[in-house]
Amino acid sequence: MTTTHLTERVPEIELASKQTAPAARPLWQIFDEVAALYPERVAVSFGRERITYRELQGQASRLARQLRALGVGPEVLVGVFMERSAQAIVALLGILKAGGAYLPLDPAYPADRIAMIVEDAKPAGMLTESALAGRLPAHGANVICLDGNASGLETNSCDDDLPGGNTDAPASGPANLAYVIYTSGSTGKPKGVMVTHANVSRLLTATDHWFHFGENDVWTLFHSLAFDFSVWEIWGCLLCGGRLVVVPFAVSRSPEDFHDLLVREQVTVLNQTPSAFYQLMQIDEARPATDLALRVVVFGGEALNFSALRPWFARHGDRKPRLINMYGITETTVHVTYREVTASDAAGGERSLIGVPIPDLQLYLLDENRQPVAVDRVGEIYVGGAGVARGYLNRPELNAERFLADPFSAIPGSRMYKSGDLARRLADGEVEYLGRGDAQVKIQGFRIELGEVEAAIVGHPGIREARVIAHTDATGNKRLVAYFVPQAGANPSAREIGEFLSGTLPPWMLPSVYLLIAAFPLTPNGKVDYAALPAPTVGSVKDENSAKATDLEAEVAGVWKAVLGAEHVGLDDNFFDIGGTSLLLVAVHTKLQLLFTRKISIADLFGYTTVRTLSARLGQVSDAGMGQSQKALVQTQAQKQKAAFARARATNKAAR
């Protein structure tokens, strides 16, 4: 099969970016040039501490000489086990100037994870702080505490002249490792992504026509050094002459304090996961809109729901700052695509549209046979081009599975990365990000994309943010659980949300449980910490009125308990408020007919949604005594259910 043939078969959006990668240079070399241009400008600030480019150059060069004396050079890993601080930036730059590559270890990580990473990566040295040194696992590497005298290393003086501060320049070049960052693995074992200098430097060059970052920009280092968003924050700032404001961990976890910092430092470039930004928005709404100096906000790390940005656009508009959605992967060097988000996008309720590839990357949407999918069909994202990392450290089998030869490229030796993420190309050329492939769950035979359910929930006027998970209960039943943050002053009930969603989603996509929370817990990387979400519950806390139940009510309640997997069910609980869904009510219907050995109208179950009212209805010999309003309610519910199931059958048939 020829390349021409392949090109003809690939949708235009997938080969839209064909620009050759710009000549790449090592990061330390670019920094040297910037430091020579702006020696007296502040490079890094941390609280009241200020370090100029001249001082940062001198401190990092001195550290580099020490590291080289210990044997650090090209392809040699040095661990960085430090809290975010100005000295942490010195550590990263010093390692690169020595010719080595840095291995960031987040102090917030569990001890077992840190030990696992150290054992796998086997760094030749470890830079840390006195207060943290005791937490390092046993290893054979040299340990240097940058804040103490134990190492004999002094980094606070600055006697190096510019531009010659990097004397005895390292031999590392564009193709050498710059860092190794570990990401979560599907098997539970983290995997180290090996990224070169060229991977990073070309990212800044290839995106410059969009951002025009410069010496007047003020950035924040908001994210953990062990999260690749920090690569964009640190080097995007320092290789363009800007000022990097290091955000203390405690401040990064307080939206109020972080908003204060943005105003105080007059930050112009902000990088956020959507989850962190949604929380910041709530604080911003209560403060003067003119206090911020932001000119651009870049989103990454998670799917962005455009409609959630409506309050922000109502206050700030969409020109200053510009809001940019950038889909990215650690294995393809931070960012892959670019899309500016407008107020009209948010008003239209658009989901996470991720835009076009960075000019030196290619984005393919392929099926299970690695063939391009048609417009509007779901495919897996593969990324080719200059950002593709070297691979995983010490994982040859996984490299063979994920870093593949690129059959669509005319450049010999080109590779593409198999992401595991899903997307679809729309008729207008937009690419819609649908989340991880493993975020597509199957419940009762129906395929469900959790992002689609989340987007529908956020469409409710009383809901600001939502996340949906597939939860398996003690009985082995899998059900959807929705967590939501309400809009200020709103308190929508589970029944209200369910009724709202029934107008747009088929029954099999409706969550069983809706849990209101004040804010989503975040991981150190600023993403939603799903493990910290409260466990879902179904049924009542206890059967407060079970002792007063009639025999018939007790039998009906028993069926509800069995179907819901609930320990308690109250006589006046609404079925849809305690974990019930339309599909589960069908199961209740089947069990009740078997229990009473007679035909029961399913419309009655939708018309009478408490144990007490349903039991009273079932106890009637006929519906002769039923009022007209009750009959109308039952008929309406039945019609809704019939239409909903018709939609469900049609949708599922199309999906298959």
Looking at the fold, whether 59 and 172 belong to one and the same domain comes out as yes
Q: Residue 561's closest CA among 549, 215, 386?
A: 549
Please tell me the distance from the alpha carbon of residue 341 to that of residue 299, in angstroms, as a whole number: 10
Cβ atoms of residues 526 and 276 within 8 Å: yes
Cβ atoms of residues 280 and 251 within 8 Å: no
Domain boundary among 413, 434, 455: 434
Q: Name the β-bridge partners of 418.
A: 382
pLDDT(540) > 80: no
Q: What is the CATH number of the domain that holds 649?
A: 1.10.1200.10
Residue 465 falls inside a structural domain: yes
Q: pLDDT digits over 201-222, tens only? A: 999 999 999 999 999 999 999 9
Alpha carbon distances (Å) from 389 to 32, 246, 382: 24, 27, 13
Please tell me the distance from the alpha carbon of residue 213 to that of residue 125, in angstroms, as a whole number: 34
Q: What is the CATH number of the domain that holds 269?
A: 3.40.50.12780
Question: Residue 124's pLDDT is what?
Answer: 95
pLDDT(416) > 90: yes
Q: Residue 607's closest CA among 582, 626, 635, 579?
A: 635
Please tell me the distance from the alpha carbon of residue 204 to that of residue 209, in angstroms, as a whole number: 10
Higher-pLDDT residue of 282 and 419 is: 419
Alpha carbon distances (Å) from 290 to 18, 110, 284, 286, 587: 41, 41, 10, 12, 56
Higher-pLDDT residue of 226 and 5 is: 226
Q: Residue 639's closest CA among 606, 617, 595?
A: 606
Residue 99 falls inside a structural domain: yes
- What is the residue type of 103? L
**pLDDT band, very low/low/confident/very high, at 64 (cuts 50, 70, 90):** very high
Chain Cα centroid distance, residue 627: 52
**pLDDT band, very low/low/confident/very high, at 150 (cuts 50, 70, 90):** very low
Residue 232 falls inside a structural domain: no
Is the alpha carbon torsion for 113, 118, 119, 121 positive or negative? positive
Helix, coil or strand: residue 152: coil
Alpha carbon distances (Å) from 181 to 41, 60, 129, 329, 497: 30, 21, 20, 12, 41
Please tell me the distance from the alpha carbon of residue 181 to that of residue 199, in angstroms, as a whole number: 14
Looking at the fold, whether 323 and 414 belong to one and the same domain comes out as yes
Q: pLDDT digits over 70-101, tens only? A: 999 999 999 999 999 999 999 999 999 999 99
Residue 240 falls inside a structural domain: no
Q: How many structural domains comprise the chain?
A: 4
**pLDDT band, very low/low/confident/very high, at 525 (cuts 50, 70, 90):** confident
**pLDDT band, very low/low/confident/very high, at 351 (cuts 50, 70, 90):** confident
Looking at the fold, whether 5 and 106 belong to one and the same domain comes out as no
Domain boundary among 381, 416, 434: 434
Question: Residue 373's pLDDT is what?
Answer: 96
Contacts of 509 (CB under 8 A, 6+ apart): 446, 448, 452, 453, 456, 480, 501
What burial class does residue 486 get, using C-beta atoms within 10 Å of its C-beta: 0-12 exposed, 13-18 middle, 19+ buried?
middle
Residue 195 structural domain: 26-203
Q: What is the CATH number of the domain that holds 510?
A: 3.30.300.30
Looking at the fold, whether 452 and 409 belong to one and the same domain comes out as no
Highest-confidence range of 191-205, 458-472, 489-503, 549-563, by mean pLDDT?
A: 191-205
Please tell me the distance from the alpha carbon of residue 207 to that of residue 358, in angstroms, as a whole number: 7
Task: Please provide the DSSP assignment of 30-99 as one string.
Answer: HHHHHHHH-TTSEEEEETTEEEEHHHHHHHHHHHHHHHHHTT--TT-EEEEE--SSHHHHHHHHHHHHTT
Looking at the fold, whether 176 and 293 belong to one and the same domain comes out as no
Q: Kindly provide the residue ranges of all beta strands, DSSP E only, lying in 451-509, ordered along the sequence.
A: 463-472, 478-486
Looking at the fold, whether 280 and 309 belong to one and the same domain comes out as yes
Q: Tokens for 241?
A: 């002459």
Cβ atoms of residues 352 and 341 within 8 Å: no
Looking at the fold, whether 314 and 351 belong to one and the same domain comes out as yes
Q: Name the β-bridge partners of 528.
A: 522
**pLDDT band, very low/low/confident/very high, at 626 (cuts 50, 70, 90):** very low
Please tell me the distance from the alpha carbon of residue 319 to that of residue 340, in angstroms, as a whole number: 10
Looking at the fold, whether 174 and 47 belong to one and the same domain comes out as yes
Looking at the fold, whether 273 and 190 belong to one and the same domain comes out as no
**pLDDT band, very low/low/confident/very high, at 54 (cuts 50, 70, 90):** very high
pLDDT(149) > 70: no
Looking at the fold, whether 264 and 402 belong to one and the same domain comes out as yes
Q: pLDDT digits over 574-593, tens only? A: 787 777 766 577 678 878 88
Question: Residue 506's pLDDT is what?
Answer: 64
Question: Residue 495's pLDDT is what?
Answer: 80
Contacts of 80 (CB under 8 A, 6+ apart): 88, 91, 92, 95, 102, 103, 104, 105, 126, 127, 128, 225
Looking at residues 228-257, what average pLDDT do you find?
Answer: 94
Q: Tokens for 511?
A: 């969550």
Question: Residue 633's pLDDT is what?
Answer: 45
Question: Residue 443's pLDDT is what?
Answer: 63
Cβ atoms of residues 251 and 257 within 8 Å: yes
Residue 389 falls inside a structural domain: yes
Among 297-301, 394-398, 453-457, 506-510, the least confident range: 506-510
What burial class does residue 470 get, using C-beta atoms within 10 Å of its C-beta: 0-12 exposed, 13-18 middle, 19+ buried?
middle
Looking at residues 333-338, what average pLDDT do you find?
Answer: 97
Residue 3 falls inside a structural domain: yes
Question: Residue 641's pLDDT is what?
Answer: 44
Higher-pLDDT residue of 368 and 507 is: 368
Q: Tokens for 282?
A: 């709530």
Looking at the fold, whether 44 and 13 belong to one and the same domain comes out as no
Please tell me the distance from the alpha carbon of residue 198 to that of residue 332, in angstroms, as a whole number: 12
Is the alpha carbon torsion for 524, 292, 287, 458 positive or negative? negative
- What is the residue type of 211? F
Question: Residue 442's pLDDT is what?
Answer: 59
Residue 222 falls inside a structural domain: no
Question: Residue 19's pLDDT is what?
Answer: 47
Looking at the fold, whether 286 and 406 belong to one and the same domain comes out as yes
Domain boundary among 476, 509, 532: 532
